[in-house]
Amino acid sequence: MSRTPAVIIGYDAVSPLGIDLEAQWRRALAGQSGIDALTRIRPGPDFPVQVAGQVASIDHLDYPFLKPREQARWISPLFKYALLTVQRALERAGLAIDADLAPRTAVTYSSAIGGLDAVLGADRKWIASRSLPLPCVNPNACINMVAGKVSMLTGATGPITTTITACATGLTSMITGAMLIAQDRADIVICGAVDFALVEPILAGFATMNGAYVPKENAPPEAPQTVSRPFSVNRRGFVVSEGAGCIVLAGKRFARERGLNADVEIAGWSMTSDAHHFVAPHYPTVRRCITESIKDAGIAADRIQAVNAHAASTRVGDQVEFDALRDIFGTHMPPVTANKSLIGHAMGASSAIESIFTFLGMQGGVLPPTINHQPDPQIPIDCVTEGSRPVAQEHVLKNAFGFGGCNACIVFRRI
């Protein structure tokens, strides 16, 4: 049975590189890091995590979707970031969700971590003064309320769902959207992911499980901008960051009939479960996920001109991803860009933001660099270290591999 292709008609992101998408892309192409000393919280010098990727304040911006009273209720940054990116993505698409479109507009916008900052704040308030939480705390903490708020404020009344697949959340949100379009359940899907993980328990938890970057004991201090280094011999874990990315999908025929601009489509995808370990990726199912996404796109592996890697800077994860790519592409591996070197790891939002960078790169025929790279003899990879590189990109592979063995890959095609 033939399926309706899903095309990308709008997108927007906020990340440690900025709150304006064009500015973020300029900084990415220039190889500028968005990582700095942790200032969002001040846990003290003995706290194991001292660097982060942080989004600049957006409180001065206009929110057509949020009135001042609602801004006071939605206290987690999740909702501000998500709704801002949705608003801008719809504007970029040139689309307003009217009464006719609403029943055919779905929402799959999600998060991996959710509003834990709201829960933590309420817990501290209770401990300090025995004050009960505000009524808005629980809604802020419910991950599905991100999609719910997007639906309420855009008027979308089609299918709504929240996919939580750890670091793969952004991609699985898009894959779910593509399935809804393929099954003729929706004409438009507002996809994406947002995360704000800069709270003490989450940061410390990642450090104690050897996931987040922690300085080497008795070593000279390193500049924050240099510590996210995917595929490098001296990688020491990921840098936790925050951010959001919204991608608006539409059926290809629907977009054409409405005169909507679409330069990129979802050509193929795959999801697999490692069924192996709660953190460490599993080579066989990672490799199968990549292979199946390329097969689903109906192309041979040599048609992939670039890879936007998951590449979180972990010792095991980077090696497994490289091994899978090497075995699939052999001696003809395409150039690989690792955006987390620039923005850190924004959890579920990472793959949404990185997909948007992929779209921009496909349209401009350029790959942003992987910064801070120190070659690893075990990972002989071409990861665009010389600066942004002109690369014609008809097909690009995007990988995302999450805790719990949640693997997702999408092949994007330039229309």
- Positions annotated as catalytic residues are 167, 310, 345
For residues 333 and 381, is the Cβ–Cβ distance under 8 A? yes
Label residues 88-114 b or e (16+ Cβ within 10 Å = b).
bbbebbebebeeebeebbbbbbbbbbb
Amino acid identity for residue 402 in this structure: G
CB atoms within 10 A of CB 300: 9
Based on the number of CB atoms within 10 Å of its own CB, is 285 exposed (0-12), middle (13-18) or buried (19 or more)?
Answer: middle
Beta strand extents in 95-156 (DSSP E only): 105-107
Amino acid identity for residue 392 in this structure: A
Rounded to 5 degrees, what are φ and ψ at 240?
Answer: -70, 135
* Three-state helix/strand/coil letters over 355-366: HHHHHHHHHHCE
Q: How far apart are CA 331 and CA 192, in angstroms?
A: 34
Helix (H, G, I), strand (E, B) or coil at 281: coil
Q: Output DSSP code: residue 112.
A: S
Amino acid identity for residue 138 in this structure: N
Label residues 204-241 b or e (16+ Cβ within 10 Å = b).
eebbeeebbbbeeeeeeebebbebbbbbbeebbbbbbb
